[in-house]
Chains A and B, each alone.
Chain A
């Protein structure tokens, strides 16, 4: 199985800050990488697919990049509604696997 490792596990930031979250795959997943946002009590929401493509309706302050084994998600200017937990997921092969999550908290 391909293991996905996110860092940091948690991060504190303020509204307006720029935040970057990293996801590392244990094997080459090419561009088959997605990012999800999850708020407490809610289902995850797809933010980014195919490494850098914004899902419909996702604000442009979200961006992502990477390839192979190293990927990043960046939020350019944090808004109050962005405080949540973020997960990466690869789709390069079965089984699909998710990262352990990065909790973005208000400083």
Chain B
């Protein structure tokens, strides 16, 4: 059974650096076919794909955010970490991590609501 869960701060101040952790179980992030992605959703708005990391290490970012994002994995801890620098109130959103299979996100975490405010 695949499960994922996001953790991290729920309130950060503008210009700070945000670190979110996705802890997963039920699969190993060690092969080229397996990947974990991050998707966010501002309140009342649509989903936005942010980043993806494959088990073999390949990484992809949203072009609009790639200069502010870093995605890493810790295979020994079954974790994927998303770091976002210089956060702004427009980054207020629910952040989800999800297991990617064949290009699609078949298992999602419950999400974590992040508020950026001074």
Contacts and interface: CB of A to CB of B under 8 A. Distances in A.
Whether chain B is bound by chain A comes out as: yes
Interface of A: 1, 32, 34, 36, 38, 43-46, 49-50, 55, 87, 89, 91-92, 94-101
B103 interface: yes
Interface string B57-77: 000111100000000000000
A89 B54 CA distance: 19
- The DSSP consensus for interface residues of chain A is loop
- The DSSP consensus for interface residues of chain B is strand
B103 A43 contact: no
Contacts of B61: 95
Contacts of A100: 46
B46 A101 contact: yes
18 contacts: A1-B63, A34-B104, A36-B47, A36-B105, A38-B47, A46-B105, A49-B104, A87-B46, A87-B47, A91-B102, A94-B52, A94-B60, A95-B60, A96-B49, A96-B52, A98-B47, A98-B48, A101-B47
